[in-house]
A and B are shown apart, each in its own frame.
Chain A
Amino acid sequence: MSTATIVKLPPQETASLPKRSYLNNEYGLKSWLLTGDHKRIAILYLISITFFFFIGGAMAGLIRLELLTPQSDLMAMDTYNKVFTMHGIIMVFLFLVPSVPATIGNFLIPIMVGAKDLAFPKINLLSWYLYIFAGCFTLAALILGGVDTGWTFTTPLSTHYLNTHVITAGLGIFIAGFSSIFTGLNFIVTIHRMRAPGMTWFRLPLFCWSNYAASILMVLGTPVLAITLVLVVLERAIGIGVFDPAKGGDPLLFQHLFWFYSHPAVYIMILPGMGVISEVISTFSRKRVFGYTAVAFSSVAIAVFGFFVWAHHMFIMGVSNYSALVFSLLTMLVAVPSAIKIFNWAATLYKGSITFETPMLYAFGFMGLFTIGGLTGVFLGSLGMDIHLTETYFIVAHFHFVMVGGMLMAFLSGIHFWWPKMTGRMYPEGLSKLAALTTFIGFNLTFFPQFIVGYLGMPRRYASYPPEFQVMNVLSTAGATVLGVGYLLPMLYLTWSLKYGKIAGSNPWQATGLEWQIQSPPLTENFVETPIVDHEAYDYEWLAHQTEHEVQTVG
């Protein structure tokens, strides 16, 4: 690893945080809880999703502990079922879906387009309150005794064969869905209507394109989940028979409706992460992203195609051969734009001037792990292969590679990248590199054995398993321990940096993008004057010119 760095900080002896920023603009709990400032809302979200990440992570720890031995000996089987259900619900709906959009997206999108705030600040705050409300419902379901439907709420199990808190959990996710819808709605209107003069669509940072595509998915897909959950709750509460074969209903209809949202949901989760990677790769190679237009359009292509592949979760459920063919074909097509992005990012490195700060390390980790995860998706999209692989640990490994190896790494990359902007301080680079490496190693050790044990046939959601699967499971649990350490470290040193981190200045990474032309942390109103944009995104020559003429405002 080279020791060169791109970081340029103001001289630390004389540097200080700006006198006025969004953080000290107003004091008091009410100024935070009733704020309309998108940056404060982003911080509120960051704290909340970190809290839920911990709970979901604890659930994961319990799962891995149970799976150390082939017998179901750590907890009762019902408890295990509740643990993996809560792990799924919390991680998917309360962590992954809002992670990048509601924290980094909320913070940055108005600044990136040159606006003072999102289009609807009050709706933004409402979105956060809905998230908290949803979180409370979920915690209530957990504390009152748990829910054990699996995060997929399969009927008729969830409607007629369980006596756990299905309705509470279902309502919680229903509310979380509206939180997501309002965030997406806000982003779409902001990007359409509030771009600064000169900020054309093709001058937007790719982070905006990715979040825009994800927002389309949020807005169009989430309502279908909402109505599906309503029907499940009604069926449970009063007994309407829309999904009940005994009353003429069809449980397969639930599957179609559920996956119609839940497949686009995975793209909601990954697209904003891909946006982060574009920004980070560009900054740390000092180069415009290779094939800007291709990357921008591939985001939109993923969003569009993502709506037409849902039944690949149902290949073995008795869908007709013809629909299986169509969905498999479309699944192959949706894989292509992701491949395009990976190659474009790799090509961005060509003839760049590369440094290896922590965000870049996480981005490299993303590229490798997402490649594996995405390619294993192709395994699963291939019909005959899916028969053997579906419902096994191969699927578990696949989605953890894309969601944890991909999305979570992108989230950490983004948090580290924009930490100086959000807080005005740098995190400690040595420790952060260690954490990144630890996470990468821990992740691979945790999830790669799951591909193997999946092909061997070990099913998902099993508390006990045949003894020949133990070795792989032990490796996986060992990895999980390492991974846990890797996630704990940032919590610690990022908190530490709030008080003791070096002063970052407005542009420590010497990055392009409007957010780096304003102070760190930003003013409440973001810009002193409305920016006029006269250059393309990732214009490093323009940046060099700027630096020469010291046009940036400080403090």
Chain B
Amino acid sequence: MHDAHAEHAHAPHLRHHFETVEQQREASSFGMWLFLLTEIMFFGGLFTAYLIYRNWYYPAFVVGSHQLSIFLGTFNTAVLICSSFTMAMGVHASELRKRKELVGWLVATLVLGSVFLGVKAIEYHEKWEKHHVPGLNFSVQEFTHPSDKYKEEPPLPMDMAQKTQVYFSLYFAMTGMHALHMIIGVSILLVLIAKAWAGHYTTGHMTTIENFGLYWHFVDIVWIFLFPLLYLISRHQ
């Protein structure tokens, strides 16, 4: 009779189609890295569009970029970097089989991720108020006749002012796509927290936490690229 598993201790989390835990872990990790590669290609399309249009309409991009709050952007960047730290600590806790610590770190990551999303919502709302949402209520008034807050900005001629709509289109597409990935991450985190509390990830099998960590770090890195490209165009203060 077959006894494929009898040669080694049958760990409870070993899926039956894998021969060893090692194989399972390596396959999961490889799969996650591949998935992240697809995400790079996904965002790559947006970055390509950004590079082309920034090259063509640089003055519009400068002025558009200055409309973003550098304070909120920096704050959000710091929040995300911290959340990557808390996530890494969570992976560490999982390795050390410390259940309560793991849950703590995951919750911290969740909170920081939510703060990020909250700040993003504030920023989007501000854009709506200022009529900078392309297609829906876009107005170039601010760029042809800058208000007092932006009086250092040179007023743009109408044709270049029209191009700011391209900048904001890319702003919303890129940060929106990023925010969508954050929302997905946060949702998965909720599930992971529940399962971590039940002890699933402190048995020595931490592949799930590791792989989620990879995803979270990736979303963080995308932001690290988005922040300077969108917020920091020609800021010489």
Chain A in direct contact with chain B (Cβ < 8 angstroms): yes
- Residue from the list B17, B35, B45 in contact with A117, Cβ < 8 A: B17
Contact (Cβ within 8 A) B4 A529? yes
Q: How distant is the Cα of A136 from the Cα of B28 in the complex, in angstroms?
A: 30
- Residue from the list B45, B162, B170, B177 in contact with A228, Cβ < 8 A: B45
In the assembled complex, A222 has its CB within 8 A of some CB on chain B: yes
Q: How distant is the Cα of A186 from the Cα of B35 in the complex, in angstroms?
A: 10
Query: Shortest beta-carbon distance, B58 to chain A, in Å?
Result: 13
Q: How distant is the Cα of A226 from the Cα of B60 in the complex, in angstroms?
A: 28
Q: How distant is the Cα of A161 from the Cα of B42 in the complex, in angstroms?
A: 27
Give the residues in chain A near B27, CB-CB below 8 Å: 119-120, 189-190, 193-194
Contact (Cβ within 8 A) A227 B45? yes
Give the residues in chain A near B15, CB-CB below 8 Å: 121
Q: How distant is the Cα of A115 from the Cα of B48 in the complex, in angstroms?
A: 40
Q: How distant is the Cα of A474 from the Cα of B85 in the complex, in angstroms?
A: 69
In the assembled complex, B126 has its CB within 8 A of some CB on chain A: no
Q: Per-residue 0/1 for A248-290: is the Cβ within 8 Å of any B Cβ (1 yes, 0 no)?
A: 1110010001001000000000000000000000000000000
Q: How distant is the Cα of A529 from the Cα of B49 in the complex, in angstroms?
A: 52
Chain B interface residue count, Cβ-Cβ cutoff 8 angstroms? 43
Give the residues in chain A near B48, CB-CB below 8 Å: 257
In the assembled complex, A317 has its CB within 8 A of some CB on chain B: no
In the assembled complex, A351 has its CB within 8 A of some CB on chain B: no
**Also in contact, A241 and B169, with CB within 8 A (given A189-B27, A194-B27):** yes
Q: How distant is the Cα of A118 from the Cα of B18 in the complex, in angstroms?
A: 9
In the assembled complex, B43 has its CB within 8 A of some CB on chain A: yes
Contact (Cβ within 8 A) B43 A227? yes
**Also in contact, A248 and B163, with CB within 8 A (given A116-B17, A120-B31):** yes
Q: How distant is the Cα of A530 from the Cα of B23 in the complex, in angstroms?
A: 14
**Also in contact, A193 and B49, with CB within 8 A (given A181-B38, A248-B166):** no
Q: Which of A163-189 contact B (CB under 8 A)?
A: 181, 185-186, 188-189
Give the residues in chain A near B31, CB-CB below 8 Å: 119-120, 123, 185-186, 189
Q: How distant is the Cα of A120 from the Cα of B17 in the complex, in angstroms?
A: 9
In the assembled complex, B228 has its CB within 8 A of some CB on chain A: no
> Taking chain B's interface residues, is the majority helix, strand, or loop, or is none over half, making it mixed?
helix
**Also in contact, A221 and B41, with CB within 8 A (given A193-B30, A240-B172):** yes
Give the residues in chain B near A116, CB-CB below 8 Å: 16-17
Give the residues in chain B near A242, CB-CB below 8 Å: 49, 166, 169-170, 173
Give the residues in chain A near B42, CB-CB below 8 Å: 223-224, 226-227
- Most chain A beta-carbon neighbours within 10 Å: one of B34, B46, B162: B34
Give the residues in chain B near A491, CB-CB below 8 Å: none
Contact (Cβ within 8 A) A224 B44? yes
Contact (Cβ within 8 A) A241 B135? yes
Q: Per-residue 0/1 for A519-539: is the Cβ within 8 Å of any B Cβ (1 yes, 0 no)?
A: 000000100111000000000
Contact (Cβ within 8 A) B16 A248? no
Query: Shortest beta-carbon distance, A244 to chain B, in Å?
Result: 9
Q: How distant is the Cα of A319 from the Cα of B144 in the complex, in angstroms?
A: 33
**Also in contact, A257 and B45, with CB within 8 A (given A119-B31, A529-B2):** yes
Query: Shortest beta-carbon distance, A504 to chain B, in Å?
Result: 24
**Also in contact, A223 and B38, with CB within 8 A (given A192-B30, A241-B166):** yes
Q: How distant is the Cα of A5 from the Cα of B105 in the complex, in angstroms?
A: 67
Give the residues in chain A near B41, CB-CB below 8 Å: 220-221, 223-224
Query: Shortest beta-carbon distance, A259 to chain B, in Å?
Result: 12
Chain A residues proximal to chain B, CB less than 8 Å? 110, 115-121, 123, 181, 185-186, 188-190, 192-194, 219-224, 226-228, 230-231, 234-235, 238-242, 247-250, 253, 257, 260, 525, 528-530
| Known A189-B34, A238-B135; further 18 A-B contacts with Cβ < 8 A | A117-B16, A121-B15, A189-B30, A223-B38, A228-B45, A231-B45, A231-B173, A234-B173, A235-B135, A241-B169, A242-B169, A247-B134, A247-B162, A247-B169, A248-B165, A249-B53, A257-B49, A260-B45
Q: Which 9 A-B pairs have the closest CB atoms?
A: A239-B135, A240-B169, A117-B17, A227-B45, A223-B42, A223-B41, A116-B17, A248-B163, A238-B135
